[in-house]
């Protein structure tokens, strides 16, 4: 099970966005799998859509924190080699199209959906693809750093002395002190860098509810706050769960020092902590790229391909998407 299938994540997401007009819950999360809901609306105010989706995702109408590694609990092939029960039962719900975001390509869930489409005559569309990057932290930290490219080592690890020479450096877990300050800094840094806050009001409510419920499932928030001379200059929103540290968001002061990539160095400290933490085997950078480059690719030791697929059940929409593709 990943962080995104925890009851803390699933329940927090539904508690914030589940009352959206047109949403109807059809299956709760089952501990190891994502819950499901149907979103009923009119596309461009005209075409009626009933879209089946994972809790934590929305295809067209909402922008919410990204939920990755989605899937159902019983997605493995059944004894007869047919469609797994969790996926066969999807046909019991009233939907015209189903969009399954960020599933692992060629893994059990992806294969189950392919079989479902083939055997039930559903149209198949791939609507997005991406990659989630990670660092294997089960080995030796020094060996990992030595295996990186020269410029990557310099940016993420070898300019620590420059940063530490600028004043009193401290890194603390803001969850244990004042998480409100942490999220305020994260939003402020994002406004300066991107022109808008990282989290709006609803997203902030979601993350606080998620973090409040995580401890009951064995998870631990790691809201890493880096200060120089007492001033917050960089934040990393990390969560540790079942042997993996997830890096959900980050923010930092831009143009802090001409020789220091502040956010990169902070991330380097967090990766080292994951190597030193007993029982942590992976530092998960998740999907997405940086503002100027795909920095994750340079520090990762591996990646997981993610794909978002649409199954179309309605004969009319099968025809419509086929015409649109032509």
Tokens of 83: 């469609």
Give me the pLDDT at residue 80, please.
Answer: 47
Give me the pLDDT at residue 79, please.
Answer: 41
Report the C-alpha gap between 281 and 278 in whole angstroms: 8
Give me the pLDDT at residue 78, please.
Answer: 52
- What fold does the segment set 138-280 form as a domain? Aminopeptidase (3.40.630)
Contact 113, 77 (CB under 8 A): no
Report the C-alpha gap between 50 and 71 in whole angstroms: 20
Give me the pLDDT at residue 326, please.
Answer: 59
Give me the pLDDT at residue 126, please.
Answer: 96
Any idea which residue has 């015209």 for tokens? Answer: 96
* 204 half-sphere exposure, CB direction, 13 A CA radius: 14
* 240 bridge partner residues: 220, 245
DSSP 264-296: HHHHHHHHHHHHHSTT--EEEEEE---SSS-HH
Contact 64, 10 (CB under 8 A): no
Q: What is the DSSP letter of 77?
A: P
Which portions of the chain are predicted below pLDDT 70? 30-31, 73-83, 291-292, 326
Contact 287, 131 (CB under 8 A): yes
Tell me the per-residue pLDDT of 119-142, one tens digit each, with 9 for 90 and over.
Answer: 999 999 999 999 999 999 999 999
Report the C-alpha gap between 315 and 326 in whole angstroms: 17
Tell me the per-residue pLDDT of 220-237, one tens digit each, with 9 for 90 and over.
Answer: 999 999 999 999 999 999
Domain boundaries, the chain: 3-131+305-325, 138-280
Measured CA distances, 119 to 9, 88, 146 (Å): 33, 10, 50
Any idea which residue has 């997605």 for tokens? Answer: 75
């Amino acid at each position: 099970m990943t962080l995104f299938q925890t009851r803390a994540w699933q329940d927090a997401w539904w508690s914030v966005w589940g009352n959206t007009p047109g949403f109807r819950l059809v299956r709760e999360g089952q501990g190891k799998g994502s819950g499901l809901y149907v979103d009923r609306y009119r596309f461009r105010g005209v075409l009626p859509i009933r879209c089946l989706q994972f809790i934590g995702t929305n295809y067209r109408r909402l922008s919410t924190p990204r939920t990755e590694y989605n899937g159902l609990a019983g997605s493995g092939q059944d004894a007869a080699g047919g469609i797994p029960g969790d996926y066969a039962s999807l046909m019991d719900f009233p939907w015209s199209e189903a969009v399954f975001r960020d599933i692992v390509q060629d893994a059990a869930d992806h294969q189950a959906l392919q079989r479902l489409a083939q055997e039930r005559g559903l149209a198949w569309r791939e609507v997005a693809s991406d990659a989630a990057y990670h660092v294997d932290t089960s080995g030796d930290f020094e060996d990992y750093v030595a295996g990186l490219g020269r410029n990557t080592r310099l940016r993420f690890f070898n300019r620590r002395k420059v940063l530490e020479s600028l004043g009193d450096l401290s890194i603390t877990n803001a969850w244990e002190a004042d998480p409100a300050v942490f999220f305020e800094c994260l939003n402020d840094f994002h406004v300066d860098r991107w022109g808008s806050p990282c989290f709006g009001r609803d997203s902030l409510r979601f993350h606080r509810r998620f973090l409040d419920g995580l401890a009951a499932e064995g998870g631990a928030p790691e809201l890493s706050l880096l200060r120089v001379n007492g001033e917050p200059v960089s934040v990393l929103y990390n969560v540790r769960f079942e042997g993996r540290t997830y890096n959900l968001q980050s923010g930092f002061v831009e143009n802090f020092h001409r020789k220091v990539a502040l956010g990169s160095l902070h991330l380097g400290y967090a990766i080292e902590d994951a190597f030193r933490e007993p029982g942590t085997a992976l530092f998960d950078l998740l999907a997405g790229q940086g503002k100027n480059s795909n920095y994750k690719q340079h520090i990762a030791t591996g990646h997981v391909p993610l794909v978002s697929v649409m199954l179309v059940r309605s004969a009319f929409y099968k025809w419509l998407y086929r015409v649109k593709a032509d």
